[in-house]
Amino acid sequence: MRQIPSNVLTADSLKSINREFCQKLGLLAGTAHPFCELFNIGLLGKVQQNAASGGEFQKFRRPIEFDWSQEEILEENAIYLLHPGLTSAICRARSMNLNRVNIIGTDRPWVRKSGHNGIPQIFISHSSIDKPALEEILPALADKLNLRFPADLWFDKWKIRGGDDIHQKVERGVEGSDIVILFASSSSLKSGWVDKEWRTKHLEEINSGEIRVITAVLNGTTPNELPSFLRLKLAIVLSESDLHFSIEELAESAAFHASERLRHMFPTGG
């Protein structure tokens, strides 16, 4: 249970934690999935839609619902919940991120406060020219985040579908984000769109006193090229020679500041 960072987990975070678990035990990732067992015995639940009201509620399996076939137990894109008893047992041994919006429990409603369900959203601000580089970096970043504080990474290629209004989707993505990661490069620093994205959150940062913008400098760009506002902030340089460490550092910073953001938004928790 040492790898579980929060009492609310995304489907992607289950995969990341399971890979870490299998790697530490020398198992093949496809042959062991402890979350299936936890779900089957009711120690892991998930958010389900209420067919009557259209809302959402928290579902934990009862003993009579044990699935002996254990087929297709876990679903993509679902939100998973640690049973309060298991959460309490973990918290007796160490600290973990607790959802600050929802109180977890069988049949309790799954709600949003101020449009937030307690899972941080991190907006990826970048130039389209840098997209190939980010497509290599972001899966590793998401993986590292999942082991610290599961978050929803808002990357346009992952979020915008055919027919969507691009401007509207991006604006909503920025507005709903807790943290913006600016991937600074010679291209992104010349982009009017990128400039608007990070400045929107930087203004919120000034007004609230909370960190809302993290700068990740892509290889070949120097911190001196950053706008004067951003030069005052410690930037994380994504160097090809030490990319693994840089991504670890970026994930740690994003998880910490996202956690602090939610703590200030919801000081008493769910």
Q: In this structure, is residue 43 part of a structural domain?
A: yes
Decide if 270 is inside a domain.
Answer: no
pLDDT at 73: 66
E strand spans, 63-141? 79-82, 121-125
Is residue 175 domain-shared with residue 234, that is, in the same domain?
yes
pLDDT at residue 129, rounded to an integer: 94
Q: Which of 29-33, 65-69, 170-174, 228-232 has the lowest mean pLDDT?
A: 29-33
217 and 141 within one domain: yes
Task: Say if 77 falls within a structural domain.
Answer: yes
228 assigned to some structural domain: yes
Domain limit, last residue, from 53, 78, 93: 93
pLDDT for 20 equals: 86
Quick check: is 125 in a domain?
Answer: yes
Mean pLDDT of 69-92: 86
Residues 41 and 161 in one domain: no
Model pLDDT, residue 27: 74
Q: Are residues 156 and 39 in the same domain?
A: no
Last residue of a domain, one of 75, 93, 111: 93
Residues 180 and 233 both lie in one domain: yes
Residues 191 and 136 in one domain: yes
**CATH code at position 251:** 3.40.50.10140
**Does some domain include residue 183?**
yes
Q: Domain boundary residue among 93, 112, 146?
A: 93
Mean pLDDT of 60-65: 88
- What mean pLDDT do residues 70-82 have? 81
Q: Please check whether residues 138 and 84 belong to one and the same domain.
A: no
Looking at residue 71, what is its pLDDT? 61
Element (H, E) at 90: helix 84-93
Separation CA 149–CA 7 (nearest Å): 10
Percent of the chain with pLDDT over 70: 95
Range of 88's domain? Answer: 8-93
Cβ(226)–Cβ(215) under 8 Å? yes
Mean pLDDT along residues 134-161: 94
Asked whether residue 106 is domain-assigned, the answer is: no
Asked if residue 129 and residue 51 are part of one domain, the reply reads no
Q: How far apart are CA 122 and CA 110, in angstroms?
A: 21
Question: Is residue 107 assigned to a domain?
Answer: no
Q: Clarify whether residues 253 and 161 are in a common domain.
A: yes
Based on the fold, state whether residues 168 and 249 are members of the same structural domain: yes
Residues 83 and 162 placed together within one structural domain of the fold: no
User: How far apart are the C-alpha atoms of 84 and 98, rounded to whole Å?
Assistant: 11
Is pLDDT above 90 for 32?
no
Task: Report the number of distinct structural domains present in the chain.
Answer: 2
Question: Do 82 and 197 lie in a common domain?
Answer: no
pLDDT of amino acid 223: 75
Using CA atoms in the order 93, 95, 100, 105, what is the torsion angle rounded to 10 degrees? -10
Cα 53-59-65 angle, rounded to 5 deg: 120
| C-alpha distance across the termini of the chain, in Å | 23
Top-confidence residue, 258 or 71: 258
